[in-house]
């Protein structure tokens, strides 16, 4: 369980600064399907939905109100700056993504090290007029290919408007 806590903790709070004003309400919506090899977990935290694998790899959804009415370009840049410039993550790639219910998004693929162990951290940002929804994925870098299909499925099957 120590490794599980390590991955979830390492990836979990990296972008809190970006949403000080926006808040992070919990919703009981069914955001996405739990991929094979993961179990859905819940707890009193900032995640709207979260699943973990036995080795601590994680997929999480956060929902925030888009009270500032920022665009996808705006919020994507906020996240990228926070993670790369403030947290020291390495940007490994960016691409466009779309949720199952048609909300446009931006996927940031990042890498970081914790105690000499390299990690993958994926952050997909989806922005609608009312909401900012993120899908966060984290695993040790050596396990990325194993979990890539599950991470992609969680993003592809996301219902970004689930709480609207």
Cα 23 to Cα 121: distance, rounded to the nearest angstrom: 22
Residue 20: pLDDT band (50, 70, 90) is very low
The full set of domains in the chain, from first to last, is: 2-156 (3.40.1000.10)
pTM here?
Answer: 0.82
Strands 131-140 and 58-65: antiparallel
Q: With a cut of 80, say whether residue 137 has pLDDT above it.
A: yes
Question: pLDDT by residue (tens digit) across 49-69?
Answer: 999 999 999 999 999 999 889
């Amino acid at each position: 369980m120590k490794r599980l806590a390590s991955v979830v903790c390492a990836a979990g709070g990296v972008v809190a600064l970006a949403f000080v004003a926006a808040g992070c309400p919990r919703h009981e919506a069914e955001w996405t399907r739990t991929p094979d090899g993961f179990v859905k977990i819940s707890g009193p935290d900032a995640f709207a939905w979260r699943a973990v694998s036995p080795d601590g790899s994680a997929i999480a959804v956060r929902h925030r109100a888009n009270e500032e009415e920022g665009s996808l370009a705006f919020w994507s840049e906020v996240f990228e700056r926070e993670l790369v410039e403030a947290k020291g993550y390495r940007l490994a790639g960016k691409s466009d993504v779309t949720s199952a219910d048609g909300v446009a998004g931006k996927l940031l693929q990042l890498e970081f090290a914790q105690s000499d162990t390299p990690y993958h951290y994926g952050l997909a940002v989806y922005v609608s007029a009312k909401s900012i929804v993120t899908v966060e994925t984290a695993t040790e870098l050596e396990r990325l290919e194993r979990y890539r299909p599950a991470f992609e499925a969680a993003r592809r099957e996301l219902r970004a408007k689930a709480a609207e």
